Chains A and B, each alone.
Chain A
Amino acid sequence: MSTSLTSRRAFLGGSLLFVGGMALAACGKDDAVKAGAKVTLEQWYHAYGEAGTQQAVIRYAKEYTKANPDVAIKVNWIAGDYSAKLHSTLLTPQAPDLFEIGDFQYVDVKNGLLAPLDDIIKGQEAEYSKASLDSATADGKLYGLKMMDDAMVLYYRKSVLEKAGIAAPQTFADLAAAAKKLTSREQKGLFVGSDGIGNAAYLLLWSGGGDLLDPEGKKVVFNSPEGVAAISGLKQLHDDRSLLLDFTTDWYDPGAFIQGAAAMQWCGLWALPAIKKALGDDFGVVAWPKFGDTGQAVSRIGGWFAAVNAKGKHAEEAKKFIEWLWIKQTDLQKDWCVSYGFHVPSRKSVAAQTTEFSSGPAKDAADILANTSRAYPNLWNTTMDSAFAQAVLKIAKSGGDAKSLLDEAAAKAQAELGKQLA
């Protein structure tokens, strides 16, 4: 009995020592990061898919510490649903000091989560696109610094279009006709997303001269006559059965276009290197064509913003780091945009120096981005998106009445907008 007790104690004691040792070891590792630095900033990135990106941001952080020995930066690479994880962590004491944001949301500003960055961007405004500044501006202050721009454009297969005697579409009527003509059993004309909707409803709305909100951001206006007419265009594509549906990957992936499952695809500039590798020069890009005579060609701008936690202990240090990296270090900005994935540097002067965008479809895409790009307003949230998307779904696929469905969705979105502004 006593021996077994002793051994049990010994075992327990051993385990405790082991756990304690592990904890100490973990602390020790942490200390190593902090060595010499007075402040350690916690930084969050979503997990970029491109190889080398994580090593790159860690390298940027180390270079900053080399130049500023007082500040160390701990990079956290967050896989999975980044936005949901970020927002739930921002409510806790473990909140990061600085982080990136994809779709800017007004509620974050309203809840005081973000620190204004006006002092570091002062005098630099002209460097950034209006869409990027607008998305990150709320109540007259700027809360996010664009790290890179993602252009989204319409890719088309040159040889396939030429064979059918079709030019790159300049109007929606062209696009619909081309998609119909290029559709066969093995190949569909156009891929906008596995669900047959993707971003198409937004693009149609903008290309027809409509918008989501009025310029003051007080009123939901996607149910305007132009909006109703343009969004109904999606029904035509579905009725023609010229859309590729239920492909194995969604529109952000160039798979459907590369494999020839669709002759045209709405996709991002990030896919350009992969498309070029697979198809050589047999492709071109255009903006989403204008709808009707009053419309205009449009594209979508995406990308990520650097933001600072207003409630963090080291907001000032975090701002200094952002200014250093995303404003001053032009070489690192170039490295970040073109060495791993393929993004347009968000600062015009840097983009102009980047040789990758000086010719071919990449240049076309950069021009499309500069001239036609639109972004979601930061008051546009998931509840409003959901109301809009459900209306579009019924219009495009079930033949519902566009006017009444969009009116209903607009009323719902308006109520949500009112709650956000309250």
Chain B
Amino acid sequence: MSDTATTGQAATAAHPAGVRPGRRGRRTDWRAVGAFAVLTAPTVLGLGLFKYVAIGWSFLLSFSEARGTVDLGSWIGFDNYTFLLKDEAFRSSMTGIILFTIFIVPVTFGLSLGLAVLLHGMRRGRAFFRTSFLIPAAVSYVVAALIWKMSLFNGLPSGVANTIGGLFGWDVQSWIASTDPPLYWIVIITVRLWLQVGLYMILFLAGLQAIPVHLYEAASLDGASRWAQFRHITLPMLRNTSVAILMLILIAAFQAFDEFYNVFMTTTGNSTAPVRPPLVFLYDTALKGQDYGVGSAGAFLLTLLIVLVTLLQGRLVGFGRKD
């Protein structure tokens, strides 16, 4: 609407000789409407068909008994939901992902911010390090997980981790198969950090570069220490960036799939994995086990959890609140 109004005003300015272009602005410009429809229709239709219809269908499926079929019809109310909430495997999958999130989010956040600040303070070689840290973000999760599993952390004395351990006189460890102690967390967490930290670091770096230098100069003149400058200038000025990144990390954590799936995968699938995040659990249930009803119900429970946590986070750190 504001666009047509502007056009109207511009027209008035350009043709002051008694024409009443204002009316023209109010008349529907069918060509524009047509162009709008033509240009947006593919996206709207695509989204509608492949996203919203699918989501709606899945929602209906979550109230049906749907084994090996996606036909609706055998309604069973909330049975799929109660089954999942009573299922020890699904519950431990959900609590597992919450604990994982509580750990991984601050670590990813802290490391990316720390690296960005270090890099921002460098005088030379910034471009080199920036690129080096960003490159892993372009690597596929599957490929990285397989490198971690088969090369870095394999259970042979010749594996990279075991070779390094050997230098310190440690025993040969089975990094993924051993559950007591759960060494597999080292594998999962390092691969995730390696893949993700670079990208968030770049976002932080962009935020840091937007902070006016004179703020730091003024603070230095006032005798503020480096820490005080970080605490009172950098962090507050990065607030919007931080909140956005925090949300991205949080959602990425809840959606963890690839590295868990591939690190623990065996010939028979993921049934012997010591941890199965919800997406792996749901993949096994819906696509391997062909139980689309329970799979859909689980997807909506996970969505509910993500929405709740995101809202809570918005409450706590004030996402979208105006300064």
Write out the residue numbers on chain A whose beta carbons fall within 8 Å of the beta carbon of B159.
246
Contact status of A397 and B178, CB under 8 A, knowing A195-B272, A198-B267, A252-B267: yes
**CA A60 to CA B271, docked complex, whole Å:** 37
The residues of A that contact B304 with a CB separation of less than 8 Å are none
Chain A residues lying within 8 Å of B150, measured Cβ to Cβ, are 248
A382 touching B177, Cβ below 8 Å: no
Q: How many whole Å from A377's CB to the nearest CB in chain B?
A: 16
Are A382 and B267 in contact (CB-based, < 8 A)? no
Instruction: Determine how close the nearest CB of chain A comes to the CB of B66; give it in whole angstroms.
Output: 10
Near B by CB (< 8 A), chain A positions 373-422 give: 381-383, 385-390, 392-393, 397-399, 408, 412, 419-420
On whether the beta carbons of B154 and A193 are closer than 8 Å, the reply is no
Interface presence of B234 (CB below 8 A): no
Stretch at the interface among A105-113, A138-146, A332-340: A105-113
Task: Take A382-B284, A387-B89, A393-B274 as given contacts and tell me if A246 and B153 are in contact as well, using a CB distance cutoff of 8 Å.
Answer: yes
B contact residues around A197 at 8 Å (CB): 266, 272
Which one of B133-141, B221-229, B285-293 is at the interface?
B285-293
B69–A111 CB distance below 8 A: yes
B268 vs chain A, min Cβ distance (A) = 7
A41-61 interface code vs B (CB 8 A; 1 in, 0 out):
000000000000000000000
B89 A392 Cβ-Cβ under 8 A: no
| Residues of chain A lying within 8 A (CB to CB) of residue B179 | 393, 397-398
Contact A382 B70 (CB under 8 A): no
A216: chain B residues at CB < 8 Å are none
Q: Quick check: B67 and A91 within 8 Å, CB to CB?
A: no
Give chain B interface residues in 148-203, CB to chain A under 8 Å.
149-151, 153-157, 159, 172, 174-180
Interface residues of A in 178-210 (CB under 8 A from B): 185-186, 193-199
In the complex, the chain B residue whose C-beta lies closest to that of A253 is B267
Chain A residues near B264: list those with CB within 8 A: 195
A394 and chain B: residue at smallest CB distance:
B179
Within 8 A of B (CB), among A105-139: 105, 107-108, 110-111, 113
Binds B, one of A22-30, A81-89, A283-291, A359-367: A81-89
Question: In the bound complex, do residue B155 and residue A244 qualify as a contact, i.e. CB atoms below 8 Å apart?
Answer: yes
Q: Identify which of A186, A390, A392 gathers the most chain B CB atoms within 10 Å of its CB.
A: A390
Residues of the A chain whose Cβ atoms lie less than 8 Å from the Cβ of B172: 185
Residue-wise, chain B 250-294 has the 8 Å CB interface mask toward A (1 for contact) of 000000000000001011110110100000000011011111000
A-chain residues with CB within 8 Å of residue B285 when the two chains form the complex: 383
Which residue from chain A places its CB closest to the CB of B69 in the assembled complex?
A111
Interface: B68 (CB within 8 A): yes
State A193–B174 Cα separation when bound (angstroms): 13
Query: Which chain B residue shows the least CB distance to A256?
Result: B156
CA distance A383 to B285 in the complex (A): 7
Q: Min CB distance, B99 to chain A, in Å?
A: 17
- CB < 8 Å: which of B149, B153, B287, B289 contacts A383? B289
- List of A residues within 8 angstroms of B291 by Cβ: 383
Q: Are A390 and B153 in contact (CB under 8 A)?
A: no
Interchain CB contact under 8 A, A84 and B287: yes
Q: Which residue of A lies closest to B153 (CB)?
A: A246
Are the CB atoms of B271 and A386 closer together than 8 Å? yes
Are A195 and B289 in contact, with the CB atoms below 8 A? no
CA distance A195 to B291 in the complex (A): 26
Let me know if A104 is at the binding interface, CB within 8 A: no
Cα(A408)–Cα(B92), bound, Å: 15
Given A88-B287, A197-B272, A390-B89, does the pair A250, B267 have CB atoms closer than 8 Å? Answer: yes
Per-residue CB proximity of B56-68 to A under 8 Å, as 1/0? 0000000000011
A315, B293: Cα distance in complex, Å: 29
With the chains together, A196 CA to B267 CA distance in Å?
12
Residues from chain A with a CB closer than 8 A to the CB of B287 are 81, 84, 88
Question: Which residue of chain A lies nearest to B174 when distances are taken between CB atoms in the complex?
Answer: A245
**In the complex, what residues of B have CB within 8 A of residue A251's CB?**
267
Q: Which of B176, B180, B289 contacts A194 (CB 8 A)?
A: B176
Q: How far is the CA of A96 from the CA of B308 in the complex (A)?
A: 43
**A247 contacts partner chain B, Cβ-Cβ < 8 Å:** yes
Is the Cβ of A246 less than 8 Å from the Cβ of B89? no
Residues in B whose Cβ lies below 8 Å from that of A393: 179, 272, 274
The residue on A at minimum CB distance from B92 is A390
B89, A247: Cβ atoms under 8 Å? no
Residues of B within 8 A of A399 (CB): 180
User: A385: nearest residue on chain B (CB-CB)?
Assistant: B271
For A83, give the chain B residue with the smallest CB separation. B288
**Chain B min CB distance to A108 (Å):** 7
Q: Name the one of A196, A252, A392, A398 contacting B180, with C-beta atoms under 8 angstroms.
A: A398
Which residue from chain B places its CB closest to the CB of A393 in the assembled complex? B272
CA distance A194 to B177 in the complex (A): 7
The A75-103 residues at the B interface (CB cut-off 8 A) are: 81, 83-84, 87-88, 91
Partner of A193, one of B69, B89, B149, B267: B267
| With known contacts A193-B267, A198-B266, A386-B89, A91–B70 Cβ distance under 8 A | yes
Q: In this assembly, does A261 line the interface, its C-beta being within 8 Å of a C-beta of chain B?
A: yes
Closest to B187 in A: A246
Interface residues of A (CB under 8 A from B): 81, 83-84, 87-88, 91, 105, 107-108, 110-111, 113, 185-186, 193-199, 244-248, 250-252, 261, 381-383, 385-390, 392-393, 397-399, 408, 412, 419-420
Q: 4 closest A-B pairs (Cβ-Cβ)? A: A246-B155, A245-B174, A389-B271, A245-B177
14 residue pairs of the A-B complex, CB under 8 angstroms, read A87-B290, A91-B69, A107-B68, A195-B272, A197-B266, A245-B174, A247-B154, A247-B155, A247-B156, A248-B151, A248-B156, A386-B271, A397-B274, A412-B87
Given A197-B272, A382-B289, 13 more pairs with CB closer than 8 A: A81-B287, A84-B287, A91-B69, A246-B149, A246-B154, A246-B155, A246-B156, A246-B174, A252-B267, A383-B289, A389-B272, A393-B179, A419-B67
